[in-house]
Chains A and B, each alone.
Chain A
Amino acid sequence: MISSKISRRYAKALFGIGREDGNYETYGKCLEEFARFCEENENFFKVISSKIFSTEERIRVLEAVLAKSDFPDVVKNFLRVLLDKDRIGAISGIAQHYRKLTDEVSNITRANIITARPLKQEALEELKQGLEKLTGKTVVPDVSEDDSLIGGVVVKIGDMILDGSVRAQLEGLKESLKRGEYS
């Protein structure tokens, strides 16, 4: 398990290069794409991150994939270095940290919006605007559904959680009843 500190260090290194040449957003997208590819292709990820195979063999596999990609050379070299240093297993964490860095520079914050039922586009837009006013940043919503909420919506932005679900209200009601506030 590669620590978050190491992931952040590699992310910062690539981000520094990207900031210098002005392609940090492109690099970020490439990193995310590669991370997603690793998640989707479990066998590929196992081969390139496992020490069972020799470095040469793993590099050959990686090169085969990179050859088919249109990633900039910087990103390709970065991935080669990761593999060479046995840090390719942390690609997901590195991509995550890189995204945070790009978000900070771009004044973007990502909102994880969980809703009990599908949100209408107007409602989502209104919610996005409200969250942007609240955070003072451009909000990138990531909407998902969870029917255990019963009704309402939950928003997670960084460490902040705004819970407007029926489940939360019922939990609050239950706690109030337990404390005897309604007796």
Chain B
Amino acid sequence: MSRDKGLLRIYKKTLLILGTLFLVWAPTAWLWAAEHGGEAAAHDGGAATKDLIARCINFGLMVIILFVVIRKSSMKDFFSSRRESIREKLDELKRGKELAENRVKELEQKLKAFEEEKKRILEQFKAEGIAEKERIIKEAKERAKQILEQAEFTIQREMDAARGRLRQEVAELATKKAEEMISKEITDKDQEHLVSEFIDRVEKLH
């Protein structure tokens, strides 16, 4: 029902447009004919005016025929189904557009989230990288320090050991030499003196 009303409205609009065109065209044609007709009138009398009227009638008949033909024919259904399909198509396109827009928004959000995630991961990796770098440098420094300390300790120990060995060797040689000298030089008087000293020490013990 509403569909018929819509069609009728279209027809009315079409007639209104055609009528308006006719009304605009007719005076213009009339003036043109009057201007050029004045000259022709001198030669042809009112032949041009008649021709114009005939043309207008012809045009009006054509419009009427067209109106009737269109009304009777299946053009109405064609245009109706065409309009419906166009509407459906438009709706579909609209939905598609909405879906696409939603998809775009979704993808934009995902892209944004991805960018943020990427940024976060990069920052995390960067921070971890810096921390790892610092840790490696710290460990390397500590290891280097330990190696240096160990080396110093080893050197010191070796030096101490060498010093000890040298001291022992010197002590052995010195006491051996002293023993030889004392054995040669010691006399009975020295022995008496040593015994006397020993007795003094024993007496001091109690």
Contact = CB atoms under 8 A, between A and B. Distances in A.
Nearest to B171: A177
A123 B175 contact: no
Contacts of A126: 199
B199 A150 contact: no
Contacts of B192: 120, 123
A130 B190 contact: no
Interface in A52-80: none
A141 B178 CA distance: 31
A150 B171 contact: no
Contact of B203 (A133, A152, A166, A170): A133
From DSSP, what is the main secondary structure of chain B's interface residues? helix
A18 interface: no
Given A151-B186, A152-B191, A178 B171 contact: yes
Contact of B198 (A120, A127, A134, A174): A127
A120 B191 CA distance: 10
Given A127-B202, A134-B205, A152 B175 contact: no
Interface in B163-196: 163-164, 167-168, 170-172, 174-175, 178-179, 182-183, 186, 188, 190-192, 194-196
Contact of A177 (B175, B190, B205): B175
Which of A133, A162, A178 counts the most B-chain CB atoms under 10 A from its CB? A178
A35 interface: no
A116 to B, nearest CB: 6
Contact of B179 (A127, A150, A152, A162): A150
Contact of B194 (A164, A175, A180): A164
A7 interface: no
B197 interface: yes
Contacts of B3: none
B206 interface: yes
Contacts of A180: 163, 167
Interface size classification for chain B: 20 to 34
Interface in A115-168: 115-117, 119-120, 123, 126-127, 130-131, 133-134, 150-153, 155, 162, 164, 166-167
A164 B201 contact: yes
B195 A119 contact: yes
Contact of B172 (A119, A151, A155, A174): A174
A152 B199 CA distance: 10
Interface string A82-125: 00000000000000000000000000000000011101100100
7 closest Cβ contacts across the A-B interface?
Answer: A164-B198, A177-B171, A130-B202, A174-B175, A152-B194, A117-B191, A134-B206
Interface of B: 163-164, 167-168, 170-172, 174-175, 178-179, 182-183, 186, 188, 190-192, 194-199, 201-203, 205-206
17 contacts: A123-B199, A134-B203, A134-B206, A150-B179, A150-B182, A164-B195, A166-B194, A167-B179, A170-B178, A171-B175, A173-B171, A174-B171, A177-B167, A177-B170, A177-B174, A178-B164, A178-B167
